[in-house]
Amino acid sequence: MPTRFLLTIITLLSALGSTGNAEDRPNIILLMGDDHGWSETGYNGHPYLKTPVLDEMAANGLQLDHFYAAHPSCSPTRGSFLTGRHPNRYGTFTPGWSIRPDETTIAHLLSDAGYYCGHFGKWHLGPVKAESPTNPKAMGFHHYVSHDNFYEMNPAFSRNGAAPEVIEGEGSKVTIDATLDFIKDATNREMPFLAVVWFGSPHEPYSGLKEDLDLYADLPAELADRKVKLTSMETGRPVSRPLRDVLQERYAEITAMDRAIGTLRDELTAKGLKENTLLWYCGDNGAPRSAGRATTPFRAEKAYMYEGGIRVPGVIEWPKKIGSHRVSEVNAVTSDILPTLCAFGGAIPPKRPLDGISLAPLFEGKITQRPQPIFFWSYDVKNLSNAKPAPVPYIDPELQEGTTPLVKYMGDILTRNFKNYEQPPITEADYNGSRVMLGNQYKLIIDGKKGSGVELFDIRADSAEKKNLSESEPKIVEQMKTDLRTWQESVLQSLSGADY
């Protein structure tokens, strides 16, 4: 009997045993904004933004106040979201580096457990074309309407690997419309479903509907005195514009995304699905420099290991399981999604190193502190770029060429290509790069920015990361450095292929 079939039978039996009845398992919808910073929601006190739907979700559900992206940039975080593993374990180091086909995703696991699985919107873990070995279908999804990267109005999506097709409309609405078609299909099949919905907003370049732009026509005049660099919607090339105009468009995108989530919630209610649907929203990294850091209480932004780069909005709504509003201060991360959903969906986690933990006890209020630290690491890709001999591509480069067009140029093309490499023998230089150990009280950062060295913060008392305690707490620093190094050794073992 084929191994995959045996695994499916075992997983289904596990689901029946763990829930009592497979039909009791929740439908699952995982939503993620693109470059959406922690402070950019009404419920987190933003002075200008209007996010009534996310605010209502937070008011009704579990608000994850200390929720983190596994990496301060998008492709790596997306990999952690699907695998429960740090992205350096499989070479998804920065944006534009693909996942490896050998990875097991939450879609693989829930498919085996009897779920109907779909992906919608931004993918950015490899091309979405049919022949790609890392497109959503290859990574476990039954159905997808997806883009290689980010998108704006009138997105060009590939439907299950077909040639890109332009779909008229505001980007977030188009994404939710495709999701609703999938939910209807899953309901007709009488199957529980997993829908992974990754919006293209609010990633720059920005655009907005007039009704949304008008909401932010009165931003403070002094914001116009500062200029920021971002991509021009007209040329696809860098341009400098007044921060006030940029924020008006960015906030319009966030409000449109929020409204699209409201459409989804309304349809779940109308179809009688809301009570037992787990709806989880988060960001993929902090807001970028072009957002101006106008209101964040945190240090730095996207691409940095400080709170402004990795702490993101997180909120979960599930009426059957979460009956009333709760705010959690437990550290949680995108890598926790896979083990958590395995617990609720009756799936068996893969037998390989995971960096996330199940948050199931958190849903029931049974934990007040995380039982283990969270580690972060931006691998120094120069090690591979400068390797002699040149590293071997993990995937045929032709299969890594993207097809869905963007507004923003990369060199002279309006598409995105991907890469991933076989790991050469490990050297000491492979341990370099910005890296973090986050405990329940202290956060150790090594090389958080050029020349910063070792920093230690009491993150509970100093979320703005202003007071470096590394000199006054040398014993804590040394122990955390040792623990961080041990974790890195495990990651590099995975990167070298030991888990496959």
Write out pLDDT tens, residues 322-346: 989 999 999 999 999 999 999 999 9
- Round to whole Å and give the CA distance between 158 and 155: 10
pLDDT for the residue 23: 64
Average of pLDDT values for 195-216?
98
Measured N-to-C along each axis, helices 74-83 and 337-345 cross at an angle, to the nearest 10 degrees, of 30
User: Is-contact 167 193, C-beta < 8 A?
Assistant: no
In 3-state terms, what secondary structure has residue 385? helix
Cα dihedral 148→149→155→161 (10° resolution)? 10
**pLDDT tens-place string over residues 111-163:** 999 999 999 999 999 999 999 999 999 999 999 999 999 999 999 999 999 99
Compute the residue count for the chain.
500
- Round to whole Å and give the CA distance between 82 and 130: 20
Tokens of 42: 């009404």
Preceding peptide of 297 cis, ω within 30°: no
Pairing of strands 143-147, 165-166: unpaired
Average of pLDDT values for 466-473?
98
User: Is-contact 191 173, C-beta < 8 A?
Assistant: no
**pLDDT tens-place string over residues 282-316:** 999 999 998 867 788 999 999 999 999 999 999 99
Nearest to 88 by CA among 428, 483, 411, 491: 491
In 3-state terms, what secondary structure has residue 269? helix
Average of pLDDT values for 370-392?
94
Average of pLDDT values for 399-416?
97
User: Is-contact 158 129, C-beta < 8 A?
Assistant: yes
Domains and CATH numbers, the chain: 3-371 (3.40.720.10), 377-394+423-495 (3.30.1120.10)
In 3-state terms, what secondary structure has residue 157? strand
- Round to whole Å and give the CA distance between 107 and 84: 12
User: Is-contact 173 263, C-beta < 8 A?
Assistant: yes
- Round to whole Å and give the CA distance between 48 and 41: 9
Average of pLDDT values for 194-204?
98
Q: Is the pLDDT of residue 437 over 50?
A: yes
Average of pLDDT values for 370-377?
98
Tokens of 222: 């002094």
Tokens of 80: 């952690």
In 3-state terms, what secondary structure has residue 286? coil
Tokens of 189: 């099949």
- Round to whole Å and give the CA distance between 342 and 406: 35
**pLDDT tens-place string over residues 222-277:** 999 999 999 999 999 999 999 999 999 999 999 999 999 999 999 999 999 999 99
In 3-state terms, what secondary structure has residue 393? strand
Q: Is the pLDDT of residue 19 over 70?
A: no
In 3-state terms, what secondary structure has residue 115? coil
pLDDT for the residue 296: 87
Confidence of residue 387 (pLDDT cuts 50, 70, 90): confident
Confidence of residue 22 (pLDDT cuts 50, 70, 90): low
For residue 355, report the phi and psi dihedrals to the nearest 5 degrees.
Answer: -105, -15
User: Is-contact 51 43, C-beta < 8 A?
Assistant: yes
- Round to whole Å and give the CA distance between 151 and 204: 9
Q: Which residues contact 198 (CB under 8 A, 6 or more apart)?
A: 31, 32, 34, 78, 119, 120, 121, 122, 123, 124, 284
